[in-house]
Structure 1
Amino acid sequence: MSIITVVCCLMALSLSMMQKYTEIDPNAAYSMAFQSVGMKWAKYLVALGALKGMTTVLLVGALGQARYTHIAQAHMIPPWFALVHPKTGTPINATLLMTISSGLIAFFSSLDVLASLLSVSTVFIFMMMAVALLVRRYYVREVTPGINQLKLVIFLLVIIASSMGTSAYWGLRPNGWQRTPKVWGVPLVPWLPSLSVAINIFLMGSLGPPAFIRFGICTVAMLVYYILVGVHATYDMAHQQQKLDALKVKNEDEDKEEKA
């Protein structure tokens, strides 16, 4: 991760040194930058590398999305999608589902729509992870005193509200009771998670209103599905497993009694 971060910083530095930031083409930044300094041959290498990179990312993403087979195992979607191919040992049904669905969505949607929707979704998840880290570190059910729970809620509201205020200001004007981890814990708590919340909310504020509208529609649709279908499916599945375990224990006890 550190190597990737350094490479990205060096790429950004080289781009800004070749071309003024106000003249950078958002659709083909490096190709146009190389062309502006007289290296027309380099833009074809950049295009070839970008094509190869996008193809690799698409393939890896299509295969990696099949990790959501645990959703099918919990019966939130049909269990058929959790089946594993006997020869390859891969969740082929889930892979086909994600690949075909992603292809259809990409085929009938524009790139800017998908980019903005994925950006706000990803950043929102990162922000929630940072908030969850603070809750996980500072709150234990039936252990944390009520006054400390109130302090935690107030601090979370202050962090989120101040981050939203900073983001809104920038958008409108462009110019302890800490719990010790048992094994390992994220360092610099609460400063690092708070900074993560602020950065992610700031990035969300840089997106346009259509991205939030699409994100809200998708979120409502998933919540409705989860409330009407997912909760009941996982609840029934959990109780079915409990019944199977109880029946197994009962059969084992009967076998022991017969042998005795």
Structure 2
Amino acid sequence: MEEILYIFNIDPSQKMKIPSWQQTQSALSRKKEVLQSDDTKLAKVLSTLDLTLLGVGSTLGVGVYVLAGEVAKTTAGPAVIISFLIAALASILAGLCYAEFGARVPKAGSAYIYSYVCIGEFFAFIIGWNLILEYLIGSAACVKALFLYFDNMANNTISHYFEQTMPMNGGHVASYADVFSLALSLVFSVALAFGAKESSLVNNVFTFVNISIVLLVITSGIFKSNPSNWSKTADEAKGLGNGGFAPYGIKGVIKGAAKCFYGFIGFDCIATAGEEAKTPQKSIPIGVVMSLLIVFMAYFGMSTVLTMMLPYYEQDTTAPLSHVYDVIGWTVIKYVVSIGACCGLFSSLLGAMFPLPRIIYAMASDGLLFKTLAKVHPKFQTPFMGTLLAGAVTGILACIFELSKLTEMMSIGTLLAYSMVAACILVLRYAPDSKKCDNSQEPVTLKSIIKQTISSEQSYPTKITSAIVSWLIIVFFIFCFILSGLMTIFEDNLYRGEAWLITTCVILGFFLLLLLFIVSCQPTSDVKLGFTVPLVPWIPGISIFINIYLMTNINKDTWLKYVYWLIIGLIIYFAYGIWHSNERSPPFKPQNSVKENGTNGNVPYSAAITAKNNDVNETL
């Protein structure tokens, strides 16, 4: 009972009363105080180059060997290069928001820390829990892909052996136990636990090989390129589109961009390593932007030469590069590309497994997850227990599940994190400065909010202007979901150009622009940072809309699985995290002094709770 009173800051004399909404809201919205200091248990060993290559390795994985051919054949045709361009622009918008937050809060934990600092604890836990899901499934998918690749090279003998010796029922789980993936996950987790610098060096080697293979493909493809492959007729396409540069029309280009966007997921792992960077305020922004540019140039170059070497309708959707070199008879380069695919998968696996224990470490250090997971190894200076646990869970997922049914869940967590980071940028840019704010200012009322919205008289942020921006962001999110839902549900009607739908979308779009315009009229903070997002609030606003639109395109089954994962997280938070959070409000202080309580022989309430907390911390 005393712990409940402590969390909600309730007077002990009111024990029988249920916590008020204000007290509950205060407990859920408490924010993390981040001090700008170099005090960290993690080793600060990562340079700007290390962070850039970490982002490239995590993003430029197996997708570069599969995605271009699949999207070209089934969705966009040669216009896949435009799809990659649109996806890259959308990713850079999110990347700019991450870059500013990395300069503001150079701590391990990525979007989790960002939302904890400016939104509140409950939403921060939700974001952190989403990121754990993203990297768990991403790591398991990479491990599974590695196994399937090696199994394919061995003529499927490994999978046949597992089917005979370790069969399972199938259905929602795999038809056999993939012990290979489990063992590989454990080996990688042990390697990561040995140190950030050592694992970063391995990732750098894999990434350099991966980039070299990409350059080899682009260079060799130039000699076999034929521009006429971009102007094939509908008869030559044999039913796959209408031929030409964009055989599936504008609809195909946009759908292709939605698919290609997932090929850029992974750069946010740079922000999770901020606490281990030598100069995070400089390294994180440069690393994010440079890694996205490198990945875009690789995708753009690969898709260009691929569709020029072979018509889009003859592409292979599973191994397009190997297929192309088979067709033109370059067997040696085919095997060289296979080596590059292995290196790409290994770097993707490292890029996915590296940030996962850092997020677990950050949440456990804050008391929202079990404190044992926050232990740092005294020799290797890495989150040892969190790394081993992450590797074990990743291996189990890859061992027993067919991950093709779960991969879209990774996108939900990522897109929600992108949206929350963009919203955080807006909140912080228009947050009041405590040095300039006067306590005697006009109170925040409906009248004062309407007055400031219309007139915009203030020259610096206040509580009123900050409240206006916060409410406008909430309304903006709601209308983004409404507009995105209409565009997704009535997609065919939209492409047919039906007047009622276009009119509705134009009105909603105009209202969204109006909301951003009102936000732009409010005074902004003059805090100096090493990097800031340009054109605020327009860039974060566009980023939020794109992310929400992509989220509404995810199917219902995936959303249902996500709800199950979210319920597990909420149970952990309300059963453990809210009780052990480091950011709990100070306990209620009795009106009687300590001396008076001492004369009565009673222990002060605050002292009793402090002693109890010390006992709890010692046991943990």
Question: Which range, TM-score by smaller chain?
Answer: 0.7 to 0.9
2:538 pairs with one of 181, 191, 211: 191
Instruction: Write the letter of the residue equivalent to 1:85.
Output: H
What do residues 103-134 of structure 1 show as CA deviations (whole Å, max 9, x unaligned)?
Answer: 11122222323321112221221122223333
Question: 2:348 matched to 1:57?
Answer: yes
What do residues 197-251 of structure 1 show as CA deviations (whole Å, max 9, x unaligned)?
Answer: 22222333443332222222212221222122211121697769x97xx99xxxx
How far apart in 2 are the matches of 1:158 and 1:139?
23
The aligned residue for residue 177 of structure 1 is: 522
The aligned residue for residue 258 of structure 1 is: none
Q: Would the aligned equivalents of 1:80 and 1:93 in 2 still touch at CA under 8 Å? A: yes
How far apart in 1 are the matches of 2:370 and 2:400?
26
Question: 2:433 matched to 1:142?
Answer: no
The aligned residue for residue 155 of structure 1 is: 476
Instruction: Write the letter of the residue equivalent to 1:15.
Output: L
The aligned residue for residue 114 of structure 1 is: 406
How far apart in 2 are the matches of 1:153 and 1:83?
37
Q: Would the aligned equivalents of 2:422 and 2:544 in 1 still touch at CA under 8 Å? A: yes
Deviates more, 1:215-224 or 1:178-187: 178-187
Partner SS for 2:549: helix
Offset of residue 25 of structure 1: 3.3
Question: 2:6 matched to 1:6?
Answer: no
Offset of residue 182 of structure 1: 1.1
Deviates more, 1:134-143 or 1:222-231: 134-143
How far apart in 2 are the matches of 1:102 and 1:23?
36
The aligned residue for residue 309 of structure 2 is: 18
Q: Would the aligned equivalents of 2:430 and 2:525 in 1 still touch at CA under 8 Å? A: no
TM-score, with normalisation over the residues of structure 1?
A: 0.77
The aligned residue for residue 415 of structure 2 is: 123
Offset of residue 66 of structure 1: 2.1
Q: Would the aligned equivalents of 1:139 and 1:149 in 2 still touch at CA under 8 Å? A: no
How far apart in 2 are the matches of 1:22 and 1:132?
44
Offset of residue 49 of structure 1: 1.1
Count of residues paired in the alignment: 245
How far apart in 2 are the matches of 1:63 and 1:99?
10
Offset of residue 24 of structure 1: 3.8
> CA 1:191/1:105 → structure 2, altered by over 3 Å: closer, same or farther?
same
How far apart in 1 are the matches of 2:379 and 2:468?
57
> CA 1:86/1:237 → structure 2, altered by over 3 Å: closer, same or farther?
farther
How far apart in 2 are the matches of 1:30 and 1:181?
51
Question: 2:546 matched to 1:222?
Answer: no
Deviates more, 1:182-191 or 1:160-169: 160-169
> CA 1:109/1:231 → structure 2, altered by over 3 Å: closer, same or farther?
same
> CA 1:50/1:238 → structure 2, altered by over 3 Å: closer, same or farther?
farther
> CA 1:235/1:45 → structure 2, altered by over 3 Å: closer, same or farther?
same
The aligned residue for residue 79 of structure 1 is: 371
How far apart in 2 are the matches of 1:114 and 1:40?
35
Offset of residue 98 of structure 1: 0.8
Partner SS for 1:143: helix
Structure 1, unpaired ranges of 5+: 248-260
The aligned residue for residue 251 of structure 1 is: none
More helix per residue: 1 or 2? 1
Q: Would the aligned equivalents of 1:171 and 1:206 in 2 still touch at CA under 8 Å? A: no
The aligned residue for residue 393 of structure 2 is: 101
- Percent identical residues: 26
1:201 pairs with one of 545, 548, 551: 548
> CA 1:21/1:228 → structure 2, altered by over 3 Å: closer, same or farther?
farther
The aligned residue for residue 47 of structure 1 is: 338
How far apart in 2 are the matches of 1:86 and 1:237?
28
Q: Would the aligned equivalents of 2:325 and 2:331 in 1 still touch at CA under 8 Å? A: yes
How far apart in 1 are the matches of 2:429 and 2:379?
44
Higher CA-based Rg: 2
> CA 1:235/1:145 → structure 2, altered by over 3 Å: closer, same or farther?
closer
Q: Could you say which structure has the greater relative contact order, defined with CA pairs below 8 angstroms and 6 or more residues apart?
A: 2
Q: CA RMSD in A?
A: 3.3
> CA 1:7/1:233 → structure 2, altered by over 3 Å: closer, same or farther?
same
Q: Would the aligned equivalents of 1:75 and 1:230 in 2 still touch at CA under 8 Å? A: yes
How far apart in 2 are the matches of 1:225 and 1:12?
44
> CA 1:131/1:233 → structure 2, altered by over 3 Å: closer, same or farther?
same
The aligned residue for residue 254 of structure 1 is: none
Offset of residue 97 of structure 1: 0.9
> CA 1:114/1:49 → structure 2, altered by over 3 Å: closer, same or farther?
farther
The aligned residue for residue 322 of structure 2 is: 31
Structure 2, unpaired ranges of 5+: 1-290, 433-461, 497-520, 588-605, 612-620
Partner SS for 1:224: helix
Deviates more, 1:80-89 or 1:197-206: 197-206
